[in-house]
Structure 1
């Protein structure tokens, strides 16, 4: 009954939107429209001209009906053109304006003008070099965009390497991502990957950096977004192409740390296009030293364990996707996309073990973790002649399966067995989503949005040989939202809304239903066209995912056992932000201050286990946290081809804990993150870049991780008229290991972990692109409502490479 109720919410909004579109019922004839395409070239050099202005006017009355500017390939596409006779005018500074007369008909609504050459004026210099390069960072009204494809130091890495250079983000050595010191929701192309339901760190390692176009940091999402993510939303946009003919790119990297490859291909003819992508990551097994100390007290008896060992972890990742897109006409579009990912990491290890300062023996171990996930979606979008009006229906299926196997063989130095443990766990995640959205512009400045959504999730965890511990968890979410944006004055804009979400949870005969309202609002004022002030408020939620909930007892480290907590409640946070941004002679300054209050904060928690000397690590709702913060991003060009960038982020950590638990970090602590980048372009297609990252100590309720610093650089050379590049990347060239120390302390337990992680690497990368690439983005379902595990290892005393 509840599933029917939840699904009905989405259907009600579909029906309401349909009432706005009588043509959806088939009773009203839709006027056929088409598109006009052209490529603008220099008449002498035959090179494409980007940012050329193209306007479309009717011949009979001279009325302007469409227009735009060409892209970096000199191409322009004018959409929604009704059959008629038109005059196409092309102009660019230093060139003569050119006019072309064309005609479209209902039988042939599309018109491809092919290549059009324009000539320079008589007073133009003999040779004009036009160099256009996208800024690495762009500041928009509701988000900050990091254009990864414009940063040469990303070649050959994975998404984790990219995230370390995104303003306002901090990433530790395991790939844990935080925004302003708080949990964040990570989306790929506006929707979650099934892999992220298990671990964000693993999912980011699967995605090659060469497939990433940009990263959007959304600190104040509107009510249109799912309410998940206390700190906000990170949206990774991958490279896609949508151009006539065949186009694509290939990237390959080999190095001392890992090998990577990525391939993208698009074929398009008329209104139909096919996109496909393949990628792989193969990391060499490298020795990581882990020194682990654990001390517990029970019944007035203190037991201490010291492990000093080496692990050889390897990592393999594969992904492939296939997308189809078809325009029935200028108003109706249908698209579908399927993506499969496969990830494996693990390996052998050995350590010397001392109990109460006495060398007891050695432990041989092996850990294997893998997961495979399929994401498939189908989207239909309907637009009208009224610019900005849009109705869409989307469906998505996500299914994933992950396995976790390990064994530990603890023996004396003479080979006498002391303890042997092994186990395996298979987790499955299934998710079905239906969504409908409607956008109606009352005017250019007044825009109304509404929508509904239903999500049905089932999580199962099966224990090998012990069916009594199997875990079956249902979580169903129904949501509806409405937003409106308008201008209060000529310079002040407002956008606000509210989202309602109902959640029904059922597991092991336990039920937990709750309803929440999530308001949001943003005021933005523009001053002199270059400076923007912003004041924003929103309420967010963090629901725990499988890695937080799974009660599987993971004894990969037999002295530090990890187990999820199925009784976790969701976090609820209120966020307030004031922002300032300005452009000064090509330089960018973006600053913000914020306050966040979070109830039912989910934190890692250690306590003595039943076995002396062993600690049990899990997650709990520790209490209420509050945080004040500041962020400053700057970009400066001393000379046109030299860019300097820096980002400084500060935030406090303070928790008011439950009275029944105790942690080491009672009080107020300061977290900070600093990033700096220098990029130079030289004649002959040479590029040189350097970057450095500093992370402060990181605090949770019971632990403190010491600060870390890493740095890198890249040199790149373009060839084949910038169609191909070859480059060399280095990371921490003067230090093989990155030393990370974490101290955790609670009631009757104390734990330290020192990791010596092999970070130094050298890599040679190659990339080549062919065809005419034009990147476009399609509206997708965005399931961004569950808290994800940032570190699959939990309290196991290990590290993922």
Structure 2
């Protein structure tokens, strides 16, 4: 690892020296150049104006020396500007031309103009509809973007609540996320989180909704991305800013279900900026009822065990981050970011224990599941005078520790049957080191080449307090290289394709498992009349099991059945094809797609009979091969300029060709569906009213079926302090306290039913305030997208906390 860090440092010094002193060896003095940055906004709506024309001319002779058009965020960056006095002119059809005089010097070659407002011409003012609100959903060429900050119903919730309203996603009651019926890789700001590697559901509950800016759904990632995620990639963008001066926001929520707080602050002066964020989630202990029924058959004799009780679980989550960014000059940038998260989930429980319909005892239980995780990264980026050329090198360290402790105190009610007391603790540690480099070279305006390499070194350790020689030490190292090329086949047809090679070396318990994979990807996109897009895409993906799947720790926190990971799991491999259609019709959006996916070595939870204990053992296996066909339709319609209706329906089939040695209850083809509906109104005086509803169909695995779920809620919000702040009230499932979810699992000579009565109803009062001047930028980060995340929480299998 030291050699890698030294190599990275050497490369940074070399490229930095070359960029700052391009005449090294020639003795010539380098000419200092800088960049001019601005964001162009509509003066009435305060919305960004894309494709606005910006030109830069010298004041002394009027000679134009640079120019361009703004991007979809209204941003323009003019590179390679020598120190001088300039006139910046902004023009766009329907707007008055605006001119700004600026001056750069060798000491300060960069000039950030911030936001510049341009006014509509007089003959168009009557046609302007002042909405003042960003679209909740945006359809882009390679992804769908859900702008969470524009949805008032998210206030006071966590990331799980946000994910339930993202088009194409389905979220179960535990917070496990699927895209088109398959697992996905979840990133935060384009990079992985160590907490996600342990449990996606827990990680999402740690992140307050008020810190989320948007969620990107990427169904067809290119070869540049790590190949992880059968269904694709979900990228959560948190709120950040890179504004001159000081800016930030404060959010707070008090409610019947949970309390939340979030604070974001940015300070920037010259070329140096600092970003920091703090957040917390405190969920009240609420009584949940959980009923487990387990039946196991041995020698034609069936024994049933019923556990019926309640738990008072609570959740506490804290997170903090600090980011630094510095531009050496117009070509060299270095940034670093560190984030720490801490999560606690657990509490006491009481239940009755019944054997063959006769009460045999009572159980008092206590469960403590906590984890802490640190993510730290360093990124260096070098650009050149050639527009679009870029080289970057990055390093990342992830260190996490999670603890799973439980106590079960069983008091027998049957004469002659002894009491029992069970306690255990398992500590898992995950360390990950990553080095990555990427290079982008534009041969022309329409042809771009990308290439890069990556190395990931992982070590997973799991330690037990049982005194037995059961400690688990697992090494997984991944080396990868990729290249892509994008070009126009015609004026309206674009192509992007590439291939990624990944070599994986696994070592644990004196066993080795090395394998090599190639992951091709290709996408064709055609634009028709500037409003309609057709897309045809193919890619191959992989999902490697993470600690929650691999950990062989025998979890006996539930007295009715045991849970254990499987270190012998093989990775999933999937091939995906998609045809997509999107169009804009008089302000309305229609996005439709059909897809096919074939997955080998699919990983699912299964139940076995443990003859040594006489109980059911829940674990993971590569159960077989699946094929899935699906359809997705998203629509957005504005009946009036201030009223938006949107809906999303997703369908996919589930069918598995299983191994002969694993018995399941679901042989055949089944249909999964997800439906989402939202209505949002804006009124005079800064009032906003929103409603939403989500329907999830029954969910199937080879051995189980989970009954359908329905969520609904609403929010009312009022702008205050001259639109710098808001205050609002939101509600979730107001007419019923509990959400009843039933899951039935049937294996070989065993049967299990699980009924959860989850207290979902909540009311919350929220407040937010923004100060300073906010302008968002994105930084390139490392993306470790190669680990299958826990879709069934290990800790949630035990105790009486299921569903919390």
Scaled by the length of structure 1, the TM-score of the pair is 0.94
Matched residue, 1:190: 190
Give yes or no for contact 1:606–1:749 (8 Å, CA) kept in 2: yes
Q: Report 1:668-687 matches (<5 A).
A: 668-687=669-688
The structure-2 alpha-carbon separation of the partners of 1:600 and 1:25, relative to structure 1 and needing over 3 Å to count, comes to farther
Partner of 1:156, secondary structure, is coil
Q: 1:39 and 1:628 mapped to 2: Cα distance?
A: 43
What is the match of residue 329 of structure 2?
329
Cα distance in 2 for residues equivalent to 1:708 and 1:125:
47
Match runs of 1:369-380 below 5 Å:
369-380=369-380
Q: 755-764 vs 108-117, which deviates more?
A: 108-117
Residue of structure 1 in register with 2:738 after alignment = 737
**CA spacing shift, 1:117–1:439, aligned 2, 3 Å:** closer
CA distance in 2, matches of 1:71, 1:141: 12
CA distance in structure 2 between the partners assigned to 1:19 and 1:41 by the alignment: 36
Q: Distance in 1 between matches of 2:581 and 2:617?
A: 45
> Unaligned 5+ residue runs, structure 2?
none
Separation in structure 1 between the aligned mates of residue 451 and residue 338 of structure 2, nearest angstrom:
27
Whole-Å separation in 1 of the counterparts to 2:362 and 2:233: 45
Equivalent position of 1:630 in the other structure: 631
Task: Give the secondary structure class of the aligned counterpart of 1:469.
Answer: coil
Q: Does 1:548 align with 2:549?
A: yes
Hey, what does 1:746 align to over in structure 2? 747
Match of 2:248 in 1: 248
Aligned equivalent of 1:586: 587
Q: How many angstroms apart in 2 are the aligned matches of 1:115 and 1:598?
A: 48
Query: SS in structure 1 opposite 2:469?
Result: helix
Superposed CA offset, 1:288-334 (max 9, x none): 11111000012333211011100111000000000000000111000
Q: Within 2, Cα distance between the matches of 1:757 and 1:578?
A: 39
Residue correspondences, number: 793
Determine if contact 2:304/2:355 at 8 Å carries over to the other structure: yes
* Cross-structure match for 1:536: 537
2:781 partner SS = coil
Counterpart Cα distance in 2 of 1:161 and 1:208: 10
Map residues 643-792 of structure 1 onto 2, 5 A cutoff.
643-792=644-793
Contact 2:630 2:651 in 1 (8 A): yes
Q: Following the alignment from structure 1 to structure 2, what is the Cα–Cα distance between the partners of residues 38 and 483? A: 31
Residue 217 of structure 1 aligns with which residue? 217
Whole-angstrom CA distance in 2 between matches of 1:710 and 1:436: 44
Cα separation, 1, equivalents of 2:67 and 2:657: 58
Distance 2:236 2:570 in 1: 28
* Aligned residue in 1 for 2:401: 401
The answer for the alignment partner of 1:350 in structure 2 is 350
In 2: Cα distance, 1:118 partner to 1:170 partner = 41
SS in 2 for 1:468: coil
Match for residue 411 of structure 2? 411
Counterparts of 1:455 and 1:502 in 2: how far apart (Å)?
Answer: 10
Deviation, structure 1 residue 412: 2.4
Measured in 2, the distance between the counterparts of 1:576 and 1:39 equals 38
Instruction: Confirm whether residue 265 of structure 1 aligns to residue 265 of structure 2.
Output: yes
Contact 2:131 2:642 in 1 (8 A): no
Match of 1:799? 802
- What SS does structure 1 have at the residue aligned with 2:162? helix
Of stretches 646-655 and 602-611 in structure 1, the one that deviates more from structure 2 is 602-611
CA shift for structure 1 position 621? 0.5
**CA deviation vs aligned residue, 1:435-476 (integer Å, no higher than 9, x gap):** 000000001110000000000000000001325000000000
1:48-101 CA-to-partner distances (Å, cap 9, x unmatched) read 7853764323454633512455999x9976554233443222446776534344
Q: Distance in 2 between matches of 1:333 and 1:490?
A: 35
Please state how far the C-alpha of 1:17 moved relative to its aligned partner.
14
CA contact (8 A) 2:381 2:390 kept: yes
Tell me which residue corresponds to 1:476.
Answer: 477
Unaligned runs of 5+ in 1: none
Query: Residue in 2 aligned with 1:226?
Result: 226
With over 3 angstroms needed to count, the CA separation of the structure-2 counterparts of 1:382 and 1:20, relative to structure 1, is closer
- Structure 1 CA distance for aligned equivalents of residues 36 and 675 of structure 2: 47
CA distance in 2, matches of 1:619, 1:287: 30
Post-superposition Cα deviations, 1:583-609, rounded to whole Å, max 9, x if no partner, equal 100100000111101001101010112
The farther-off stretch of 300-309 and 697-706 is 300-309
Per the TM alignment, residue 33 of structure 1 is displaced from its structure 2 partner at its CA by: 2.1
Query: 1:383 corresponds to which residue?
Result: 383
- The equivalences for 1:435-446 within 5 A come to 435-446=436-447
Q: After TM superposition, give the deviation of residue 567 of structure 1 in Å.
A: 0.4
Q: Is the 8 A contact 1:730 1:761 kept in 2?
A: yes
Q: After superposition, give the CA deviation of every residue in 1:246-287 in whole Å (9 maximum; x if it has no partner).
A: 000000000000000000001100000000000000000001
Q: Distance in 1 between matches of 2:601 and 2:684?
A: 56
- Partners of 2:762 and 2:379 lie apart in 1 by 42
- Relative to structure 1, the CA distance from residue 304 to residue 343 in structure 2 (aligned partners, 3 Å threshold; closer, same or farther) is same
Distance in 1, matches of 2:368 and 2:678, equals 37
Question: Does the 8 Å contact 1:17/1:391 carry over to 2?
Answer: no
Are the counterparts in 2 of residues 294 and 613 from structure 1 also a CA contact under 8 Å?
Answer: no
Secondary structure of 1:572's aligned partner? strand
- Could you tell me which residue of structure 2 aligns to residue 562 of structure 1? 563
- Does the CA-based 8 Å contact 1:636-1:645 persist in structure 2? yes
Q: Distance between the aligned counterparts of 2:154 and 2:35, measured in 1?
A: 36
Distance, in Å, in 2 between the alignment partners of 1:261 and 1:566 is 39
Following superposition, the deviation at residue 721 of structure 1 comes to 1.6
Q: Which residue of 2 aligns with 1:507?
A: 508
Aligned-residue RMSD, C-alpha: 2.9
CA gap 1:700/1:68 in 2 versus in 1, 3 angstroms: same
Per-residue CA deviation, residues 361-418 of structure 1 (Å, 9 max, x unaligned), is 1111010000000000000000011111100000000000000000111112489852
Could you tell me whether the CA contact under 8 Å between 2:46 and 2:132 is conserved in 1?
Answer: no
Higher mean C-alpha deviation, range 573-582 or range 86-95: 86-95
Q: For the residues of structure 2 that align with 1:219 and 1:42, how far apart are their CA atoms?
A: 33
Secondary structure in 1 matching 2:419? strand
